[in-house]
Amino acid sequence: MMGRLIVVSNRVPSDGPPSGGLVVALHDCLKHNGGVWFGTSGDIVEDPEDSFAELSGDGYKMRTFDLSPAEQQGYYLGYANSVLWPLCHRRADLMALNAGDYDVYDSVNRRLARMMAPELRPDDHIWIHDYHFLPLAACLRAEGVTATIGYFHHIPFPATHDLMALPQRDLFAGWMASFDLFGLQTQRDVAAALEMFRGLNGAEQLRDGSISLNDRRFEIRSFPIGIDADAFVKEAQSTDGRSLLNFAPDERLVIGVDRLDYSKGLDNRFRAFGRFLENRIVDEPRASLLQIAPPTREDVDAYQQIRDALEGTAGKVNGEHSDLGWTPIRYIHHAVPRDTLAALYRAADVGFVTPFCDGMNLVAKEFVAAQDPADPGVLILSQFAGAVEQMASALIVNPYDIGEMAQALKQALAMPLHERQDRHEALARGVFRNDVAHWTQTYLDTMARISTERAALT
Ligand code: GDG
């Protein structure tokens, strides 16, 4: 029988609607499976104690720890979000390599390992999430932890070429090899990770697909994350989304929903919508773009810049195309409740999902789940979202090509009902079958298999 499930992620859910893909997925996972969730509390205190606070979650326990102002800066805003995030999103040019941030990142991981180690049991299955904790398994091993440790990388695996720009590149493989299972979103990511190991001294890909490095042996596999599709359908049906909007009866709705992040391609999306409006035939029904883009990591410079650029583009497009009764881009820079979001997806004619680089992109799946199968909207999806590996029936676009995206909008808004239904049916089949419960189960089953195999070897 499997031991306890231990989850580690940067944040445990705080008050209000969970608004990051990771938090939503993990909350759903622990709610179904029970267990303990370790993560930061969100409180920044002058002299944090080396101990956890205990909170009870929705069917599970949460153990939280505080960060100091220096840790928040060096570990979270610095190394995790200004080095590893851009590195993994093909933006090595945006890496802010400040001396000292890595040391703080490393020390937070060591501190957490020290605090966790006495609470762990050898038969626990520890599931660590995301780039905030790449060295955590190595730190836990140094504390003597022998339990099975899995990791899931929610964001893309970095290109080998970009990794060369990371000062800690020589540590990266060792961090990975301290896990027993290194989970990635897509086959494309697995290929990138294997490429890194192919060029590495001392590393070998074994016949069963696992990797050996020095005295460690571990697996790299893809587990495309899903959503709680059934729950999403209920939320989408709870309100009439159009009644929330002050829209003309024949006005068409294009929707975008993203944390305001440079990886999401928002400025190009707005420009493509502007190009679409330029080419529009005057007596066609109007289409408006509703973009919900809650703020994120506002203390990082690159995020301030994207906000300024986006507001400039929205102002320009609206200035050119608005009239007294119509504003074509409605840009909301705060979070909306999840059920409102679901109802808005359902009311939309087009889901416009155009990241430059994305691990998976849950919005694409939420949009599909929320549609009315009898009269579904059309998904436009970037070829660089991980979701594209499972969502080939969307209209696939290149987010760098403004003209192509404008053309896709025209095609989506003119698409006949039978084609919309065919595409939606194919997409929905995948979204409902490969939902978050399937993702969790597949990952945990793989961890269980690995721990059984390891036990048989000892
Ligand atoms: C990371 C990876 C990967 C957004 N605005 C509101 C709101 N949201 C919710 C969406 C969706 C989630 O946030 C965003 O998830 P994504 O997957 O699109 O993107 P990231 O936040 O970057 O997530 C990503 C994911 O982890 C999971 O592995 O897919 O590639 O980057 O659920 O609905 N929710 C509410 N109000 C908002 O205003 N309630």
pLDDT single digits (tens) 55-88: 877 788 889 999 999 999 999 999 999 999 999 9
The angle subtended at Cα 376 by Cα 412 and Cα 439, nearest 5°, is 105
Q: pLDDT exceeding 90 applies to what percent of the chain?
A: 79
CA of 18 to the centre of ligand 1 (A): 9
Quick one: 328 and 423 in the same domain? yes
Quick one: 213 and 276 in the same domain? no
Quick one: 273 and 196 in the same domain? no
pLDDT the model gives residue 399: 98
Quick one: 132 and 250 in the same domain? no
The answer to whether the beta carbons of residues 125 and 35 sit under 8 Å apart is no
Q: Is 336 in the pocket of ligand 1 (CB under 6 A)?
A: yes
Quick one: 360 and 328 in the same domain? yes
State pLDDT tens for residues 274-303: 999 999 887 788 999 999 999 888 888 888
Quick one: 271 and 315 in the same domain? yes
The two structure tokens encoding residue 183: 């989970």
Q: Is 358 in the pocket of ligand 1 (CB under 6 A)?
A: yes
Cβ neighbours of residue 177 closer than 8 Å, sequence gap 6 or more: 211, 213, 214, 216, 218
pLDDT of 2 higher than 90: no
Q: Is 174 in the pocket of ligand 1 (CB under 6 A)?
A: no
Q: What is the mean pLDDT of residues 365-391?
A: 98
For residues 442 and 90, what is the distance between their CA atoms, to the nearest angstrom?
28
CA of 24 to the centre of ligand 1 (A): 8
Nearest CA to ligand 1 atom 37: 335
266 Cα distance to chain centroid:
16
For residues 132 and 134, what is the distance between their CA atoms, to the nearest angstrom?
6
State pLDDT tens for residues 99-149: 899 999 999 999 999 999 999 999 999 999 999 999 999 999 999 999 999
Q: Is 29 in the pocket of ligand 1 (CB under 6 A)?
A: no
CA of 441 to the centre of ligand 1 (A): 21
The answer to whether the beta carbons of residues 194 and 220 sit under 8 Å apart is yes
pLDDT the model gives residue 16: 54
Mean pLDDT across the chain, nearest whole number? Answer: 93
For residues 344 and 376, what is the distance between their CA atoms, to the nearest angstrom?
13
Quick one: 239 and 218 in the same domain? no
Cβ neighbours of residue 169 closer than 8 Å, sequence gap 6 or more: 163
The answer to whether the beta carbons of residues 337 and 17 sit under 8 Å apart is yes
Quick one: 170 and 234 in the same domain? no
Number of domains in the chain: 2
Q: Is 18 in the pocket of ligand 1 (CB under 6 A)?
A: no
Cβ neighbours of residue 453 closer than 8 Å, sequence gap 6 or more: none
Q: Is 189 in the pocket of ligand 1 (CB under 6 A)?
A: no
Range of the domain at 120: 5-226+436-457
pLDDT of 1 higher than 50: no
Quick one: 441 and 370 in the same domain? no
- The amino acid at 236: A
Nearest CA to ligand 1 atom 9: 19
pLDDT the model gives residue 324: 92
CA of 245 to the centre of ligand 1 (A): 22
Quick one: 394 and 441 in the same domain? no
Q: pLDDT exceeding 70 applies to what percent of the chain?
A: 97
Q: Is 26 in the pocket of ligand 1 (CB under 6 A)?
A: no
Long-range contacts of 336-341 (CB under 8 A, 24+ apart): 336/292, 337/17, 338/17, 338/18, 338/235, 339/235, 339/238, 339/239, 340/239, 340/241, 340/244, 341/257, 341/292, 341/366
Nearest ligand 1 atom, CA 334:
38
Q: Is 89 in the pocket of ligand 1 (CB under 6 A)?
A: no
Q: What is the mean pLDDT of residues 426-452?
A: 94
CA of 234 to the centre of ligand 1 (A): 19
Which of 257, 438, 439 is the best mutation target for the ligand 1 pocket, counting ligand atoms within 8 Å of the beta carbon and taking the most? 257
Range with the largest mean pLDDT of 26-40, 225-239, 396-410: 396-410
CA of 356 to the centre of ligand 1 (A): 15
Cβ neighbours of residue 413 closer than 8 Å, sequence gap 6 or more: 252, 254, 287, 349, 350, 378
Quick one: 184 and 154 in the same domain? yes
Q: Is 292 in the pocket of ligand 1 (CB under 6 A)?
A: yes
Q: What is the CATH number of the domain that holds 196?
A: 3.40.50.2000
Q: Show which residues are catalytic.
A: 154, 358
State pLDDT tens for residues 316-332: 999 999 999 899 999 99
Tokens 């445990």 belong to residue: 12
Q: Is 231 in the pocket of ligand 1 (CB under 6 A)?
A: no
Nearest CA to ligand 1 atom 7: 19
The two structure tokens encoding residue 159: 């290109």
State pLDDT tens for residues 3-56: 788 999 998 876 655 554 557 667 777 777 778 999 999 999 999 988 899 987
For residues 409 and 352, what is the distance between their CA atoms, to the nearest angstrom?
8
Quick one: 331 and 425 in the same domain? yes
pLDDT of 264 higher than 60: yes
Which of 263, 362, 368, 431 is the best mutation target for the ligand 1 pocket, counting ligand atoms within 8 Å of the beta carbon and taking the most? 362
CA of 449 to the centre of ligand 1 (A): 30
Between 420 and 33, name the one with better pLDDT.
Answer: 420
